[in-house]
Every structure is written in C-alpha cells, then in structure tokens.
Structure 1
Amino acid sequence: MFFCRIPDGNFGDDLNPYLWPRLLPDAFDGAVEYRPKDNHAIDLADPQEELFVGIGTLIRRELPATAIKHVFGSGFGYGALPDDGNWHYHCVRGPLTAAKLGLDPAKGITDPAVLIRLLPRPASEKRHRVSFIPHWEMAISGDWQAVCRLAGIHYIDPRRSPAEVMADIAATETLITEALHGAIVADALRVPWTPVSSKHTILDFKWHDWCGSVGLTYAPTAVPTFWRPRPHIGRLINGAKQLQAAATLAYLIKSGRPMLSRDGVLENRIERLLETLDAFCRPRGFRLNTGSRGDAEARRETADPRTVAGE
C-alpha cells in the first residue's frame, strides 16, 4: 500500500491505512509511505515492487519508475505527469485526471474515500448543528479553533485519527470544509457540506476533479489566511483576520447553500468502484471484504433527503 504520510497527520491521507486493510484484508505485505517534504528518494526493498496507489493526489513522477503502480482512484495535480510505462490505471479520481492522462473517461469514477460508506458505523446522534474542518496546513498555521469558538460552531481537527474525524462528521448536521476529504466523507455519510478556501494551499484542480465525478460544481467561499503570531508580532492583524473568518463562517451558517451529490449518483459510483476493485482482486486471489457492506437499499434508507446540490 502506497500513501502520503504527513507527520502531524492529515485526514485524507490517513484514510488509506484505515480503509484498505478493512476492504482488502489479505492484499498487502506492508506499506510504503511518501513524505513529500523530505526531499529524498522513495526506498523500496524490491525495485520492481507492486504498489497499490489509492486515496490522495499520488499520480506523480516521484514514484519509482521501476515499481509497478496499480492506481485505484488516486488523482493527478502536483508536478509533472509520470513518464514511465509501469502505471496501471484501474480507475482515477475524476474526469480531469482521466483527461490529463489520456484515459477512457469511464475510468474517472470518483475518489475511493467514498467506500468508507461500506464500513460498519455506530448510530450517531447529531450533536453539532454546524462543524468546520480546515485544510491540514491551515490547522497547523492558524488558530481555527479560536475562530470556531467566535462563530459558535464545532471545530474538527483534520490531524486527528480517521475514526475520530469521521465520528465528528457523522455527528454534524452541516459541515463547512476546506479539506477535500472532509467534503468527500461528508458526502458519503450524507452530511450536507459547504466548501471554503483560503487559497493558500488549496489546489482547485483536485476539487473540480472530484466534484465533476459526482455531478457537483466547486464554488468555494473565500476565508482569510492567517498564521499563529510570534510574541508581539502580527497579533493585531491576525486578530482582525480571525474576526473576519468567524464572520464568514457565521454568514455561511445563515445564508450558505450546503451541497450533496444525488443518492443515485453516489450509489452508482460505489457500485462501479466495487466492480473495478473486484476485477483487480479476482485474478490475484485477494479477498474483497464486503461482509460489512450491507445492501444498497439499507444505505438508501439512511440517506439524507436533501439529495440535490443546494437543497
């Protein structure tokens, strides 16, 4: 299993070791972690290792050319396109990635993080009317917890464990999110969501890529970028930006139009992902664990009735 590891934690990337061993319990001999800011080569015990490239923006030239890369739902967005012939694209995140790679558009199914919908989840009461989850870098650099206190909403830290973040999302009535996988998981759990962007670290391409895969349009509301000030430096400016950010979130609570993909679209994408995953597993003798899946009808019964974007 190949995935990105952010030392402080990042919900989207950390979904890989949470999700895949549960769905493919006997498929992996281990994991290869990519740390994008370490600036060193990715070490493989076997230069012709077979890598499973799943959740994340991982289609990039840094992966070892000699390794066999099986892409299941990952996206493109950073750096140059891969130029070796050892990439096997079973499916990718969305139509923009498929177009960049010159693939059949049918391979742009959706981000595989939606498959968390297949895992058993305890019943969760809605404890939070509105929650906010920032991009992981903004969680490090800005005091968004203070902003949420000012706005009177619940703060979700994307650096916490996937189980904790998902439990918080499931317990939320409406999510405001700067984190792409906050939106994807909320959509999978049928929690209406509203996108925001500070533009500092947000890659619009991957948002448009995923939204295009489920029939939605990405049009985020701008929020200010701010940093934790050093003593006696920048406190006044950051304080003003925190107030501005809190006012923006408060405005979205009153006037925002939360989105959800349609139930039928989500179910279709899940079925297509499972068919593709089964086609990958069957000739290799891997077991696809769908015992916890439940049937589609049961999932539809738990779907939020607001199934059209903006309703």
Structure 2
Amino acid sequence: MRALLFVALAPAPRLMIGIDPNTNLVYEGLSNFGHGLWPAPLLLRATFIREPEDWAQVPNTGALRNASVVFREDFFDPVSRIRRGRFYEPSLSAGQPALWWVHPHPTASDASKTKNGAGQVNLSLLTFVPMTRLVERLGPSPEPVVVLGAQPAVTAWSVVAVERADHDHDVVTLKARLNFGFLPELLTEAIPAAARKRVTEAVAKVVDAAHRQSGIALVDLCRAAATVVLAEMLVEQGKARDLLEKDLGEVVAALPEQAKLRRSAADIIRMLHPRGKPNEQVRLGTPPVTEADGLFALEAFAFLLRDLGWAR
C-alpha cells in the first residue's frame, strides 16, 4: 500500500501595515520590509461590542498609537450602507513602534535618509498585523457589533460576513446597524413649551438606544416615547392631564377615530412590546423581537413625530 505523505504547511506570511506617527503616512509589507500606500487607506479605531458594558471601552481619541483594534476600509457604499475591510491588531512580536525598512513613500522626500542596498530607508512605524481566527474571536452572536471611530463621533455596524482571503487575511463585510440619521430632526420650537422637556428627553433616549441597545430595548423605549409624545399632544389639545399617567394603549384609545395613521403607527409599537417577553411569546406563538423589529418600531415613532409637525 502506498504511504500517504502529509506535509505541514507553514502559515502564509501576513501583510502588516505601519503608520508613521510623524507624518501619518501608511506603509505595507512583510516582516517589517515594505512600501508606501497611496492613496492612503482609511484607518479607524474599532471596538467590538459583546455586552452593553463594552460601550465604555470605546476610545475618546482616534489616534492609533494605543489602538487595540484597527479597521482598514477597502470599500464603502453609502447607499446600501455596506463596508468591506480588514481588522488589524498591534504586532506583539515587533513592538510598538517597530523599525521598518521601506521604499521611499511616493509622497515623501527621503533624500536625506540613509538607504540600504535595496534603496530602502529605515523608519519607526506603528505596526499592526491582520487579526487571525476572527470568526472564533467574534463569538456566537449571529451578527456581532463593532463600533468604528472614537467618542463622540462613532457609528455602529454589524459583521454580516467573514471571508478568508490570500495571505490568510480575514475580509469582513459590515452593515450599518440602523439608518445613520436614526430619527428626523426634532423641531423643538414646534413642540408645546410645557411638553418640550419630556418630549426631547424621551427622543434622546430612543436615539441613544438606536446606537447601543438590542431590538427589544429599542421597542421598549419607542413605546415609552410614543406614550409621552401622544399624551402631551392630546393634553395640549384639551384632554385631561391624567392622560399623562396612562399607558400607550389608553393613550391610543383617546386619539380621534379619524387619526387612523397615528393610531396605526402607535399600535405597531404597542403590539411589538409583548413580543419581548418570553411568556408572551409562548402564549401568542410569536417569535422574539429582532433588531429589524426594533427598526420597524423606530420608523413608526419617526412617523408620529413628523405627522405631528414636531420633526422634519
């Protein structure tokens, strides 16, 4: 019988990136030998969100010197809100920053620097290597969440696909979690003065949840905000103030019959709310609330604000 010979293949070398901390020029190469990249890729600090508490780990600066994860954007479509790119982490073996031999950058003059026999110059670069075993590291969530940027300018994205490419790079596809605007612009002057504080606070909580929370939490906050908005509107129109103490079902019942769209939008939010409770899911035979359901509730709430003339 012919013996089978198994050969253990060494892992493919991974293309590192280096950033000159003095010029912010970006280089790429193998084993600290590289070349300049031009146009320069967009590099953003990234934070993986596995629990709500992880939002506290989002950095306050976009500087890459102390970054633990960096996202390199290869493609962005603002219409579909899809991004593709790669995640990098600091090189532990090379140190930070690390010495590189690089070919002169196409936009920089390195005439004064000493070159080696290959025409390369010696630079000290912030060095990052591609993240490995990304699927395992992202955890069991079907669509892990990653935050790009630094506070207060951040966006949240779902990791919808991971593909292994050449050099063992994991290429990721990201989808914006929600519309970038979340809610229409609030017209505070159009909101009755007596209601302005409660309405703006309720809307602010919804906007914050759209960034950070699950679909269930977003539905809950949309329900609370819709209750505030509609009750305040009805009180302004002459209804008794005790309506401000009622839940959404009672507030909807107080709407005039001809306000069919407002009633329907509020009912969507109201009827989604029980689906977040496991016992109600069993009783009603409904699936759990998803992120898409949260977005549906958000759109219904946005309609209410626009229809009242309190947003545009």
Q: Select the structure of larger CA radius of gyration.
A: 2
Normalising by structure 2, we get a TM-score of: 0.22
Q: Which has more strand, going by share of residues?
A: 2
Q: Relative contact order, CA 8 A, sep 6+: which one is greater?
A: 1
Q: TM-score, normalised by structure 1?
A: 0.22
